[in-house]
């Protein structure tokens, strides 16, 4: 079973990701977090295959990601960003192994990214 944790401040966005996951993947367990502290709490509680997180989920997103990678066997982290050219994005990508996907991307690109992650390939799309 594929275990996916989605962290985003917007409930509608989390619901949309959940719908896409259930349509595209047969066996998926889904949970969500609305902020950095709840994201860390859920990561500490169980093992996740993929964590899909908004770049703006926490003020100290680089440290949050580093904490996640230290806590459990490494889940793959797919960062969603609506602010593609920030220094923070560059800092995160250079420090940790994550994939980056723009929030402006298409559903098809999201699905390709998730399929790539499941086959151990990093996936980055920064424009729609």
Residue with tokens 């098809």: 108
What is the model's pLDDT at position 58? 60
Residue with tokens 């003020």: 59
What is the model's pLDDT at position 123? 59
What is the model's pLDDT at position 83? 64
What is the model's pLDDT at position 122? 59
What is the model's pLDDT at position 128? 41
What is the model's pLDDT at position 73? 72
Q: Which residues contact 122 (CB under 8 A, 6 or more apart)?
A: 97, 98, 99, 116
What is the model's pLDDT at position 42? 92
Instruction: State which H helix or E strand residue 44 sits in.
Output: helix 36-45
pLDDT, averaged in runs of 10, over the chain (128 residues): 90 92 89 90 90 73 75 76 60 60 81 80 53
Q: Which of 36-55 are b and which e, b meaning 16 or more Cβ less than 10 Å from the residue's Cβ? A: beebbebbeeeebbbbbbbb
Query: Domains, the chain, ranges and CATH?
Result: 2-125 (3.40.50.2300)
């Amino acid at each position: 079973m594929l275990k996916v944790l989605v962290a985003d401040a917007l409930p509608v966005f989390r619901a949309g990701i959940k719908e896409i996951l259930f349509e595209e993947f047969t066996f998926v367990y889904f949970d969500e977090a609305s902020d950095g502290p709840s994201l860390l709490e859920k990561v500490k509680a169980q093992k996740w295959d993929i964590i899909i997180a908004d770049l703006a989920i926490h003020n100290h997103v680089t440290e949050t990601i580093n904490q996640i990678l230290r806590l459990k066997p490494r889940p793959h982290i797919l960062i969603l960003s609506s602010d593609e050219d920030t220094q923070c994005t560059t800092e995160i990508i250079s420090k940790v192994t994550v994939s980056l996907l723009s929030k402006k991307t298409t559903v098809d690109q999201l699905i390709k990214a998730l399929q790539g992650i499941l086959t151990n390939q990093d996936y980055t799309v920064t424009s729609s």
